[in-house]
Structure 1
């Protein structure tokens, strides 16, 4: 297909791998300081070598020590990460250790200074180790993608979406896969901007498992200044600032131990979806006839089950083996399984098997609510209604009333997601759920009652741009509750793909100029240079920075590009002679960014 000249890929693979603890075994060589906390390395060795914060040599490397440390890791790791204290001020030691690692070990090598120019030794080290863990995962993804493209006779340039929504080349993605974390949500945000033409708004991307919310201002998405946090690890990766909530089209709707209606955060298979392939589930669900009080609530007869991704562990009980055997050919309801075992359904707790991945749960979801209401009927409406009828009986209310209550609960939860996101983007430090006073005012506004003396109101100052397959159905009501416009663009369900295709290649480099004993030090990601004057340092910073950016954009296939330069003073409070604090300039930071279109 010669008419296709570019293929853009957005992926959640890196994010999921970090969250799930998957990836290559990484050996870490670090120097210059002790690590503040644990890092995700399989082996770690501290060696001699240190530069101070100005990039001046304090302690040299010991070549024999490094060689011995690397040889001890040979055959035990699949990647090497190298991190040195103040390496962003002088990368010489990291580059030397990296060179030795490549010579002695046939594995990928990652140096921390190549990934970020931000200070913070521990977080920079974590970023380097995670990058090493992801290299084989992303490389396999790229190989598989290219195989599929070849099968379809597509010989186009392959680009990958970064966590800030911009694009990078295949070669860069292989070396810096850590930059793909949060790639999926970022592509969705870029897609929403391209589809609507809006420059201001709250972008709400509702998927099957989560709802991701981003803040767009003046046509750009807000970037997390300190770096993205994924799977409990703080990184120095620049990514779109997202608020993520466990609310999606596949979130489980159930009753808790007190009989209260709950939504998520667990993801399940919708009854309507699985019921479309296995219509016998409708008969099994309809066979439920019990009413009245229930002693327990962890077992819910609206649930059905099918095999999960993991096998039964060794030492599984007889009844666990029987359940696995019954589900081998097709899924079944909890009522059916309990009947075959000869036990009461409310005493059969299959949650441990679900949590261990042996079983997957099928249950009532927001998607089933839409089917029951007739709003969305792609799959089996009867299966959705059968499950919802069971929950309504548990609540001892008509099915129509239960549907209204469940719909109201989803709408209010969606509105709360928007409110909490707005507070987070305002950097308020407030978590509404932790404040009964705040929740009273919010619930009073979302669910006003005539008998209350106090009337409160709440609103968002920007419109909600809703994308993702189920978003339009739920975001509109949330917008009404929050007094703001809701925009659902045409083709909202493919905003992610559109964003991946609409992105541009952007590369940024940061350089620091600082004064040291009458000399001016230029710290670049590739070297430390001593200059006689500030003007000389600025000249080399701009010249070398632009050349670096142009080289990357040219290799990416860009024919034209725009390069911007931005400088700012680095200020810090220092003690004056009289003991008081005063603000002093500690140096100048130059940020050079280039943007180009690969088409």
Structure 2
């Protein structure tokens, strides 16, 4: 086993990897030395192993560490979060058991599905596990067509958390008839609320291929480099799970990157109480540290506008980052600059990757006598294999065929307005990137970043600066002035999102910092007879590669104490290696009739004749299940904690049990290679 030796004490060397939307970070870490070395490489979405290889090879070279000396690999990622924020992911076939079409209208399920197919089956169970007969014929009749239309299946059964038998039968049928991944709702949550559980299952199924590719890439790379160590993945609550578990339940990795950043923020600063903001390429993620631990969302994580049943950090994720699309609204008398929520490929990065294919287009557009509708916007394939283009309509396929591996200008590609909607759908499927102007380009032009093609960024800014407002005036006086306004806009939007998150966590409703006149006066320091002030009541920890650029100005705007740690750019990768494995199991006790107590969960239903025996049985099952799952996820000597929640009623002076929930949580450090 690899060790660092300090004062005669051996400490394993751990490798943390964070795969973000723009960069892949790698750190080598030991408990004695902390961060030994760190490195970055561009994330390569078409083959994630390339970006990982760049980051990990660089960090191993920097530290002089042999690949065989790594004792554990731990991975955090923002890919699942970004996919949900951007509306991306595979096409899903949903099977609803015991539900009807009206149930799709609840909890945003119909919006999440979009045009993806749904099959309704008679069946399901009641609250005590009793069944309604299952009819599989409607599914049998559609399987042959569905397997060519979708990339995965999601199954949600009525009260499946109390009896998953019907979900299991449907799963077995789909696995027998297709080779596609299948997700059952009872595998993801033990909570009631069928439509929201179905929503969570759909999102999980949509992410299976994406997270599977990530883990495959990591395994291919580590095997090729001779790294023979257990692989872990950070969950959305900051705990670790095995790579195999992450393949089956990728939805649990939503907010993985932000959760890892919180763990990393606590390690890097030692602060127990703070507001943490992590700015990446696609999103800004804001959360609270309390008592040295991330605050969890008891209602389930909300990402991309969807309230899931995934236990995760109470994170507020906004589509605001360095690669957010710069949008200029010139229709009013004064032009308005806004950002996001869509992530695009920065022009400077596109030119860094594709050279003259980008700059030649920008120069040609700049020579035109007037601004064009699609100036400084190009399309390029992401590089995903052709099988991911399955299910495209004829018009989508035709447009896709016109886009190659080298960027093509939108003013050459788009010949009619209706094609823009087709292009948006290709972007949502993860098949195409749009290259356009971003805050990262503004930072290149201002000299705050140096790693990409500054000339392309300046050309893009010059094109955008030619836009005229409603009064016929140029919106700014040249590219540098526009870069400054984009910087100012990101600072202001960041301050507004931080205030919005803080007010939300404080339980203050009805105030939108982006539209509130009072907050506008406070942030602008407007003078008048009345003076308004607004700020944060605890320190602000700023993370992300661009945090040192933006957050001093954001902190000044909010009169906040700002901490930007030395390793703020790799906090996620650090958090990935300092966490613990955690597994939770809930077993239920229900009372269908007096004197009959049904224990459900972790095996066949058991019937007891008294409450004490039933709860003891549930406790034993929950403890054993949690310990087993923690060990399966790689925990060594897990410790278990059990809690019991009881719902009861008092009838004629005597308490009567309605339902009991026994939850066991097992946790422990992950296993290292030996």
**d(CA) in 2 for partners of 1:504, 1:199:** 18
**Quick check: 1:260 aligned with 2:335?**
yes
Change (3 A) 1:532 1:263: same
590, 595, 600: which one pairs with 1:523?
600
Structure 1 residues 203-282: aligned runs within 5 Å: 203-230=276-303, 233-253=306-326, 255-257=328-330, 258=332, 259-265=334-340, 266-274=342-350, 278=355, 281=359
**d(CA) in 1 for partners of 2:504, 2:459:** 40
Q: Is this contact kept in 2: 1:514–1:522, CA < 8 A?
A: yes
**d(CA) in 1 for partners of 2:584, 2:156:** 21
Give the aligned partner of residue 90 of structure 2.
23
Give the aligned partner of residue 536 of structure 1.
613
**d(CA) in 2 for partners of 1:155, 1:417:** 43
Equivalent position SS for 2:297: coil
Alpha-carbon distance, 1:120 to partner: 0.6
Give the aligned partner of residue 580 of structure 1.
none
**d(CA) in 2 for partners of 1:128, 1:352:** 27
Larger Rg: 1
**Structure 2: unaligned runs, 5 residues or longer:** 1-66, 384-388, 467-473
69, 72, 82: which one pairs with 1:6?
72
Q: Is this contact kept in 1: 2:235–2:254, CA < 8 A?
A: yes
Alpha-carbon distance, 1:445 to partner: 1.0
Equivalent position SS for 2:534: coil
**Quick check: 1:120 aligned with 2:193?**
yes
Deviates more, 1:394-403 or 1:558-567: 394-403
Give the aligned partner of residue 489 of structure 1.
565
**Structure 1: unaligned runs, 5 residues or longer:** 339-347, 578-582
**Quick check: 1:47 aligned with 2:122?**
yes
TM-score (norm 1): 0.80
Alpha-carbon distance, 1:6 to partner: 1.7
Change (3 A) 1:95 1:520: same
Q: Is this contact kept in 1: 2:513–2:519, CA < 8 A?
A: no
Residues 228-272 of structure 1: CA deviation (Å, up to 9, x unaligned): 344555432222232222321123445322342413114344444
Give the aligned partner of residue 36 of structure 1.
103
Equivalent position SS for 1:36: helix
Alpha-carbon distance, 1:488 to partner: 1.0
Change (3 A) 1:35 1:139: farther
Change (3 A) 1:399 1:549: closer
Change (3 A) 1:534 1:468: same
Give the aligned partner of residue 223 of structure 2.
150
551, 561, 584: which one pairs with 2:638?
561
Alpha-carbon distance, 1:460 to partner: 0.9
Change (3 A) 1:517 1:92: farther
493, 498, 501: which one pairs with 1:421?
501
Change (3 A) 1:223 1:491: same
Change (3 A) 1:137 1:526: farther
Change (3 A) 1:171 1:246: closer
Change (3 A) 1:119 1:368: same
Alpha-carbon distance, 1:85 to partner: 2.3
Alpha-carbon distance, 1:417 to partner: 1.1
Alpha-carbon distance, 1:314 to partner: 7.8
**d(CA) in 2 for partners of 1:87, 1:328:** 45
**Quick check: 1:469 aligned with 2:540?**
no
Residues 357-394 of structure 1: CA deviation (Å, up to 9, x unaligned): 59866554333333344333334445545554565672
Residues 288-323 of structure 1: CA deviation (Å, up to 9, x unaligned): 5999xx8xx87386x36464559999889xxx99xx
121, 138, 144: which one pairs with 1:75?
144
Give the aligned partner of residue 262 of structure 2.
189
Residues 44-80 of structure 1: CA deviation (Å, up to 9, x unaligned): 13224532x233x3x5535xx43x4553344344555
**Quick check: 1:596 aligned with 2:668?**
yes
Change (3 A) 1:300 1:395: farther
Give the aligned partner of residue 530 of structure 2.
454
**Quick check: 1:442 aligned with 2:519?**
yes
Aligned length: 565
Q: Is this contact kept in 2: 1:261–1:406, CA < 8 A?
A: no
Residues 414-441 of structure 1: CA deviation (Å, up to 9, x unaligned): 110101111222343335157x5xx211
Give the aligned partner of residue 344 of structure 1.
none
Residues 462-502 of structure 1: CA deviation (Å, up to 9, x unaligned): 22111111122112211111121111112211122222222
